[in-house]
């Protein structure tokens, strides 16, 4: 690290659990962020601010007026732009030292099989089960840690999956791909703006813990947040040996 970086990241370096060593891991890391909306905005902004050296943003959408109530990486001036371009401009102002690559397309299996192996950690900031399961399959196949978040109405969920850990479940252990889940979205159900910020910030925290190898990541647990009662609940989420994605053959 140079003198500018030592000063920029000094409040991290003061933390015994982080110090020079973990901060250097941040600088050397590559985080793949799938989704540049309500969750992806705080995820990308905090990871860039924290000094993660490389970020790849994947999102096919453009900025819409209805996004601005919660998607803080975008502004009124970027309405109509691709979300990945709008977010990249925000991150460049926040920390020009972070390299930001953008992919303006849907995260399908072929794209994920190309991008996931290059990542230190993957953050699922999407809003549909098909993409979530595709991300999970790629992370299991390539043994890359995955931090998954979701938010709707007043509720949020968070979990970390690490295929390098033999005891870790995967996303499909908790939400089997063949189960019938009702697909709901913010566009029809609504979401309280700060809820995505809370969950996204915690995703960034989990990603930094994974990258920096400190603390205890949220592996084997599902954390649920209720903003109306301001209550957190944690549930055990063990690996399922019958899981079609990570279960033993």
Write down the domain spans for the chain: 3-236
3-236: what fold?
A: Rossmann fold (3.40.50)
- What is the model's pLDDT at position 249? 58
Percent of the chain with pLDDT strictly greater than 90:
92
> Would you state the pLDDT for residue 189?
82
Residue that is written with structure tokens 């609940």 in the block: 233
Exactly one of 125, 186, 243, 246 is catalytic; name it: 186
Residue 203's contacts (CB-CB under 8 Å, 6 or more residues apart) are 39, 42, 43, 123, 125, 147, 148, 149, 158
Confidence band for 184, pLDDT divided at 50, 70 and 90: low
Cα end-to-end span (Å), the chain: 45
Phi, psi of 242 (to 5 degrees): -95, 5
φ and ψ of 198, to 5 deg: -65, -50
pLDDT tens across 131-161, in order?
A: 999 999 999 999 999 999 999 999 999 999 9
pLDDT value for 163: 95
What pLDDT, in 10s, does the model give residues 51-98? 999 999 999 999 999 999 999 999 999 999 999 999 999 999 999 999
State pTM to two decimals: 0.95
| Active-site residue, 173 included | no
- Rounded Cα distance between 96 and 115, Å, is 22
- List the structure tokens of 210: 């994974």
Q: Is the confidence at residue 180, as pLDDT, over 70?
A: no
Name which of 44-53, 75-84, 181-190 the model is least confident about. 181-190
């Amino acid at each position: 690290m140079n003198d500018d970086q030592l000063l920029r990241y000094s409040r991290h370096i003061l933390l015994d659990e982080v110090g020079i060593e973990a901060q250097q891991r941040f600088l050397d890391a590559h985080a793949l962020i799938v989704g540049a909306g309500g969750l992806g905005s705080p995820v990308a902004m905090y990871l860039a601010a924290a000094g993660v050296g490389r970020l790849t943003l994947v999102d096919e959408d453009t900025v819409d007026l209805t996004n601005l109530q919660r998607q803080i990486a975008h502004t009124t001036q970027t309405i109509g732009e691709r979300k990945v371009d709008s977010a990249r401009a925000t991150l460049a102002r926040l920390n020009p030292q972070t390299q930001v690559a953008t992919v303006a397309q849907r995260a399908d299996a072929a794209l994920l099989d190309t991008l996931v192996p290059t990542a230190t950690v993957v953050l699922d900031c999407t809003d549909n089960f098909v993409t979530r399961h595709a991300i999970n399959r790629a992370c299991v196949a390539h043994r890359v840690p995955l931090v998954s978040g979701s938010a709707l109405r007043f509720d949020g969920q968070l979990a970390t999956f690490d295929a390098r850990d033999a005891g870790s479940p995967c996303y499909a252990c908790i939400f089997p791909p063949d189960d019938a889940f009702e697909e709901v979205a913010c566009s029809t159900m609504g979401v309280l703006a700060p809820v995505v910020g809370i969950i996204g910030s915690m995703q960034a925290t989990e990603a930094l813990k994974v990258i920096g190898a400190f603390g205890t990541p949220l592996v084997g647990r599902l954390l649920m947040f209720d903003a109306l009662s301001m209550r957190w609940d944690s549930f055990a989420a063990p690996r399922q040996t019958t899981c079609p994605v990570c279960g033993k053959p």
